[in-house]
Amino acid sequence: MAGKWSRVFLLAVCAVSLLGAEVKVSIPVGKLFTHELMRETFQIYIEPLSKLYGNFYDDPIVFKCNLQNFPDLPEWLRFTQRHPYDNGFLYGTPAAPGNNIIEIFAINKRSYVTAKQILTIAIVLDKNPLPYQAEFFIQLREIEKVLPSAVQEEIKQDLQRLWGSEALEVVNVTNALDRGGRVPLPIAGHFEGVYFKVGSKQYFSECLQKVLTPEHQRQCTSRTRVKAPGGCNFCNIPSNCITWCKTELFNVSKPKPTPALIMGSGILESGGDFNPPEFSPERDFFLDYIITVIVPLILAIILCLLLSYIMYCRREGVEKRNKKTTEIQMYHHHTIHGTSDELRMMAGSRDVPPPPLSTLPMFNFRTGERVSPLEGTSPTIPLIMAHHEPYSDTLPRK
């Protein structure tokens, strides 16, 4: 028992002691920021438990990140962790200077011990901006595989040779899924793809400029398999090779002229009271009147006339019908008519007309006695009984 409680106590102590770890970084605007959330660093805090429960170095750990006091990360920062047994990554390119305080929670999915880390990111203005930027699409990669700095370096080396310049910096890395890409089939050899953007102060090399040639663009639109333009294939590792047709060049030094936004104070100028105009200019509504009222009216009248002509003037009269009917048929018809008229007359002159069957009572409302409708013709039984009975009679009197 005592052992169990000490474990609980230890658990509580370490859960509290996890708080307070803090990391500070300073990064420039417009350059890629990556921060790997190492499982091992967080496992240091969870370590005491492993002494109690055996080897826990391989616990699944998930990370949850958010901007302090907010539910989510800032817009520029993304988080990815493929699997609880993989490291997580925070990455993104800040667009404006400022301070971001990120809360990182690591949750051990086996013991449910959590650890918290505070990451303070100070974003400062970039002193040497990179005017020439190029974005490459790497088809055979996934975002987590590209973010470790060693891989970034590999890819950069290829691009440095392509650019013919050492001074190259990674500007932005994006998962292709975030740019409308499709989730690949779960088959080996299918990848999500990554957009990799680098920038430099040096102008694009000849190889890169070939992307802009009409010949290259024509090749890309016709569905033939496009290889690197002559002599420009610099990729050493096949998985780092770029898709030439998705290469884009940007010149950031000449910002696109955007119409300047003029900010007012947000308050309308005071100009006294509103004076409604006394005279309004004459407007001619005659044509509108014709189109919206007269024309539909005329159409309605024409339709009405047409309908009445069809209904009345072209109607077959009784005389015409009779003329068409054969003599023998007419005779037959008249005989039936005559006979039924006579029968009706004879019925009307009977002395005591029996009441219609439908008005006969089926059973006596008060006594519950059933009466056959055929016997019920006796005049002693009133035809309608219930309607004259006061309601209170049916209930016991109080």
Ligand X SMILES: *[C@@H]1O[C@H](CO)[C@@H](O)[C@H](O)[C@H]1NC(C)=O
Binding site for ligand X (CB under 6 A): 30, 93, 95, 172, 174, 178-179
Q: What's the closest the beta carbon of residue 289 comes to ligand X, in angstroms?
A: 56
Which one-letter amino acid corresponds to residue 253? S
Q: How far is CA 16 from CA 69, 102, 197, 268, 332, in A?
A: 20, 19, 42, 55, 110
Q: What's the closest the beta carbon of residue 35 comes to ligand X, in angstroms?
A: 16
Give residue for tokens 């040096």.
Answer: 202
Nearer to ligand X, 30 or 88 (CB): 30
Give residue for tokens 């988080």.
Answer: 79
The counts of H helices and E strands in the chain are 10, 11
Q: What's the closest the beta carbon of residue 155 comes to ligand X, in angstroms?
A: 16
Residue 397 to residue 95: CA distance in whole angstroms: 91
Residue 35 to residue 23: CA distance in whole angstroms: 11
Nearer to ligand X, 75 or 206 (CB): 75
Nearer to ligand X, 80 or 233 (CB): 80
Distance between start and end Cα atoms, the chain: 74
294: which DSSP letter? I
Which one-letter amino acid corresponds to residue 70? F
Instruction: Supply 115's token pair.
Output: 């650890």
Could you give the maximum distance between any two Cα atoms of the chain, in Å? 128
Instruction: Report the DSSP pairing between strands 33-37 and 88-92.
Output: antiparallel
Q: What's the closest the beta carbon of residue 112 comes to ligand X, in angstroms?
A: 35
Q: What's the closest the beta carbon of residue 89 comes to ligand X, in angstroms?
A: 15
Burial of 279 per CB tally in 10 Å (0-12, 13-18, 19+): exposed
Residue in 140, 126, 228, 147 with CA at minimum distance from that of residue 192:
140
Q: What's the closest the beta carbon of residue 258 comes to ligand X, in angstroms?
A: 16
Nearer to ligand X, 198 or 207 (CB): 198
Nearer to ligand X, 106 or 134 (CB): 134
Residue 91 to residue 77: CA distance in whole angstroms: 6
Residue in 63, 43, 157 with CA at minimum distance from that of residue 119:
63
Nearer to ligand X, 94 or 229 (CB): 94
Q: What's the closest the beta carbon of residue 177 comes to ligand X, in angstroms?
A: 11
Nearer to ligand X, 180 or 354 (CB): 180
Nearer to ligand X, 245 or 360 (CB): 245
Q: What's the closest the beta carbon of residue 96 comes to ligand X, in angstroms?
A: 9
